[in-house]
Structure 1
Amino acid sequence: MRRPLLLLAAAVLLSSATTISAFNITILLGRFPGFEQFNQLLSRTQIAEQVNSRRTITVLGLPNDRLGTLMQLPEDVQKRILSLHVILDYFDMEKLAKLSPANKTTLTTLYQSSGVAIDKQGFIDVFRRRDGTIVFASSVPGSPQVCNFVNPVAAQPFNISVLSVSQPIIAPGMDGTYVETPPATPPAAAPAPATKKTPSPASPVEEAPAPVEEAAVPAEAPEAASITSPAPSPDSDAAADEGEDVNAAADLTSEKETSGGVNLGVKLGVVIGLAALVAVVGQ
Structure 2
Amino acid sequence: MNSRNSSLLYVALALLALSSAIEAFDITKMLGQYPDLSSFNQYLTETKLADQINSRQTITVLAMDNAAISAISGKPMATIKAILSTHVVLDYFDEMKLMSAVENQQTQLTTLYQTTGPTNSQMGFIKVGLIGEGEIAFGSAVNGAPIDVELVKTVATEPSKISILQVVRPIIAPGIDGQSSQSASSPAASSAPKAQAPSSAPKEKAPAASPSRSSPPPSEAPATAKAPATSRKQISPSSEISPSSESSPAPEISPSAEEAEAPLSDDLTPSDAPVPATSSSARIQMGIVWAGLMGLGALLVAV
Give the structure-1-normalised TM-score.
Answer: 0.61
| 2:58 and 2:162 in contact (8 A); partners too | yes
Whose radius of gyration is greater, 1 or 2?
1
| 1:86 and 1:109 in contact (8 A); partners too | yes
Cα distance, 1:34 vs structure 2: 1.1
Q: Which runs of 5+ in 2 are unaligned?
A: 183-303
Q: Which residue of 1 aligns with 2:147?
A: 145
Cα distance, 1:96 vs structure 2: 2.1
Aligned counterparts of 1:121 and 1:37: Cα–Cα separation in 2: 24
Q: Which residue of 2 aligns with 1:176?
A: 178
Aligned counterparts of 1:4 and 1:89: Cα–Cα separation in 2: 37
The amino acid that maps onto 2:6 is P
Aligned partner of residue 109 in structure 2, secondary structure? strand
Q: Which residue of 1 aligns with 2:116?
A: 114
TM-align CA RMSD: 1.7
Cα distance, 1:179 vs structure 2: 7.5
Cα distance, 1:178 vs structure 2: 9.1
CA displacement 1:144-184 (0-9 Å, x = unmatched): 3221100000011111000000010010111127989xxxx
Aligned counterparts of 1:120 and 1:65: Cα–Cα separation in 2: 28
Aligned counterparts of 2:18 and 2:94: Cα–Cα separation in 1: 25
| 2:61 and 2:89 in contact (8 A); partners too | yes
| 1:173 and 1:179 in contact (8 A); partners too | no
Aligned counterparts of 2:179 and 2:160: Cα–Cα separation in 1: 37
| Worse-superposed segment, 139-148 or 29-38 | 139-148
Matched pairs, number? 180
CA displacement 1:221-258 (0-9 Å, x = unmatched): xxxxxxxxxxxxxxxxxxxxxxxxxxxxxxxxxxxxxx
Aligned counterparts of 2:78 and 2:36: Cα–Cα separation in 1: 24
Cα distance, 1:102 vs structure 2: 3.9
Aligned partner of residue 52 in structure 2, secondary structure? helix
Aligned counterparts of 2:30 and 2:40: Cα–Cα separation in 1: 12
Cα distance, 1:16 vs structure 2: 0.5
Q: Which residue of 1 aligns with 2:79?
A: 77
CA displacement 1:81-123 (0-9 Å, x = unmatched): 0100000011002212324454100000000111142120000
% same residue? 44
| 1:146 and 1:167 in contact (8 A); partners too | no
| Worse-superposed segment, 85-94 or 127-136 | 127-136
Q: Which residue of 2 aligns with 1:50?
A: 52
Aligned partner of residue 144 in structure 2, secondary structure? coil
Aligned partner of residue 97 in structure 1, secondary structure? helix
Cα distance, 1:129 vs structure 2: 2.1
Q: Which residue of 1 aligns with 2:19?
A: 17
Q: 1:11 and 1:129, CA in 2 relative to 1: closer, same or farther beyond 3 A?
A: same
The amino acid that maps onto 1:27 is K
Write 1 or 2 for the structure with the bigger share of helix: 1
The amino acid that maps onto 1:132 is G
CA displacement 1:187-227 (0-9 Å, x = unmatched): xxxxxxxxxxxxxxxxxxxxxxxxxxxxxxxxxxxxxxxxx
Q: Which residue of 2 aligns with 1:92?
A: 94
